[in-house]
């Protein structure tokens, strides 16, 4: 192992590099004689900054080029926010490890001049920025009077846009805010009962080449079983709904200890219309070893309970939205903080 160089692929944003270097430090801690390097790879999602991601119409916006580098043996592993990783991976690639989840919840960050720190206590007609259809749907379900605006960019860019705006505030994932040390800006951490997170939110995925036993062995200790099982169920749910960044789907899986050696996986999910007027919710629970089956079962129940009609109504709308000038759209994908 002394001469092994592990090449880690990552996007170039501050948060992506934080994640890649965290994995690098863990590898060095676990395998002190292994050398590492971090290779920055620019993705489609990093290059297209003037359009809502939900209108771009391409899967793997933040992963495609990194996965190509993996397949071409230019890197040995890729570090992703799990919520960026499509549920269907390219042939020849697998998820080698899912790390312990950071706080899964969203946060409300008020404008610096806004004295009202909590989301639902904002005045009527308040403007809330979010880069997520999932958040928009749930926000409008809670407060139909809210006005939502699209927000893209890394965390520093989003904070700067907020500071220069007349918005009441913005909603982001707490994980990214905490990792970059901006929790002092948080007005409120939102419960999962208030806003369900994105699939895989707060977890890191290490993607490797199938059959690369050496790299698989090196990263095996990074795996967190409870997180892997919970997010496996979430990803199976998303796969069953045939959803992606264009669809407002929220979900939260958690593995809880029931007794000595006994665990239960609880999975909650919701599919909502873009205007928030209709949200179909559901829950399942069962053996964590049956995580994929549980996610698929909940997807089927949601579809039969009305989610199918919502999804069919949303997809044509986004096909039309793709043709609009970018400045007119007010939704984007559930990616980034």
Q: Name the strands in the sheet holding 169-173, side by side, starting at the edge strand that comes first in the sequence.
A: 147-150, 127-130, 169-173, 106-110, 188-190
Contact yes or no for 119/195 (Cβ under 8 A): no
| Opening angle at CA 327, ends 87 and 125, nearest 5 | 90
Neighbouring-strand partners of residue 266: 254, 285
Residues 6+ apart with CB under 8 A from 207: 63, 66, 67, 70, 77, 78, 79, 80, 85, 89, 93, 94, 95, 96
The rounded distance, in Å, linking the Cα atoms of 311 and 332 is 16
The rounded distance, in Å, linking the Cα atoms of 79 and 63 is 10
Is 46 in the active site? Answer: no
Q: Name the strands in the sheet holding 279-286, side by side, starting at the edge strand that comes first in the sequence.
A: 249-259, 262-272, 279-286
Query: The tokens 């007794």 sit on which residue?
Result: 259
Residue 149, judged by CB atoms within 10 A of its CB (0-12, 13-18, 19+), counts as middle
DSSP at 123: P
Query: What Cα–Cα distance (Å) separates residue 99 from each residue in 67, 90, 213?
Result: 19, 21, 19
Question: Could you give the 3-state DSSP secondary structure of residue 18?
Answer: helix
Furthest CA-CA distance within the chain: 62
Set 50, 76, 84, 121: catalytic member: 84
Residues marked active site are found at 84
């Amino acid at each position: 192992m002394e001469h092994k160089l592990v090449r880690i692929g990552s996007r170039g944003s501050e948060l992506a590099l934080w994640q890649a270097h965290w994995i690098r430090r863990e590898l060095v801690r676990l395998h002190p004689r292994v050398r590492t390097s971090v290779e920055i790879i620019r993705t489609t999602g990093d290059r297209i900054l003037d359009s809502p991601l939900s209108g771009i119409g391409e899967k793997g916006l933040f992963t495609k080029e990194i996965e190509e580098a993996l397949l071409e043996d230019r890197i040995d592993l890729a570090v992703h926010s799990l919520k960026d990783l499509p549920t269907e991976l390219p042939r020849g690639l697998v998820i080698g490890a899912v790390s312990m989840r950071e706080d899964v919840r969203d946060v409300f960050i008020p404008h610096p001049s806004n004295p009202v720190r909590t989301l639902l206590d904002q005045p009527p007609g308040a403007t809330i920025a979010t880069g997520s259809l999932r958040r928009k749907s749930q926000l409008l379900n809670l407060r139909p009077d809210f006005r939502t605006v699209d927000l893209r960019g890394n965390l520093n860019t989003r904070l700067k846009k907020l500071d220069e705006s007349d918005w009441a505030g913005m909603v982001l994932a707490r994980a990214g805010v905490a990792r970059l040390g901006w929790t002092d800006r948080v007005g409120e951490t939102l419960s999962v009962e208030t806003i369900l997170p994105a699939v895989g939110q707060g977890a890191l995925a290490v993607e490797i080449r199938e059959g690369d036993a050496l790299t698989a062995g090196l990263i095996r200790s990074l795996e967190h079983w409870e997180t892997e099982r919970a997010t496996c169920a979430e990803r199976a749910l998303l796969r069953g709904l045939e959803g992606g960044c264009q669809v407002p789907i929220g979900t939260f899986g958690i593995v809880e200890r029931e007794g000595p050696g006994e665990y239960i996986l609880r999975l909650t999910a919701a599919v909502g219309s873009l205007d928030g007027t209709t949200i179909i919710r559901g829950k399942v629970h069962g053996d964590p070893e049956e995580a994929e089956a549980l996610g698929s079962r909940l997807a089927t129940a949601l579809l039969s309970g009305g989610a199918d009609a919502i999804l069919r109504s949303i997809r044509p709308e986004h096909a039309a939205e793709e043709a609009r000038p970018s400045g007119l759209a007010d939704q984007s994908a559930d990616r980034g903080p």
